[in-house]
Amino acid sequence: MSGYNSYDMLTLYVRSGFDGKKYGACPFSQRVFMVLMMKASRSNIQFIVATVPTGRPPDEFKKHGLRNLPAIIYKNDAHDTVEEIMDFIELKFPSPLLHSDNILAEAATRDFFSK
């Protein structure tokens, strides 16, 4: 990660587990994490994951007006809804594309992460 400073680093905030340190069991956080891992494997995106204990958000989290988890902060941009996060990642880090032109695959997975 040489040549990167904290301003270049995307931070993914996820809900912590019962101990306040390990990752919690949140499918939305896991979805964003998987997308970031895929993007990082084929592009220049650099990110860290920070766990957030429920009820004790860090100052940086509060400073950006974030209220929900998962959340991301990248430079001056902060997002805390999964839809906004995914759109932002696709806009800022377009390669590799996550969109498929396969109509059958799109139909089969369209509501996979819905409640």
d(CA 30, CA 65): 22
Angle at 9 between CA 7 and CA 13, to 5 degrees: 115
d(CA 91, CA 104): 25
**If pLDDT is split at 50, 70 and 90, which confidence band does 58 have?**
confident
Residue 1 in this model has a pLDDT that exceeds 60: no
pLDDT tens-place string over residues 2-38: 454 555 799 999 998 877 778 888 899 999 999 999 9
Question: What pLDDT is stored for residue 103 in this prediction?
Answer: 78
Question: What pLDDT is stored for residue 46 in this prediction?
Answer: 92
pTM: 0.77
Average pLDDT over residues 50-62: 87
Long-range contact set of residues 102-111: C-beta below 8 Å, sequence gap at least 24 = none
Residue in this structure with the two tokens 């429920």, named with its chain if needed: 54
pLDDT tens-place string over residues 63-107: 999 999 999 999 989 999 999 999 999 999 888 777 667 777 777
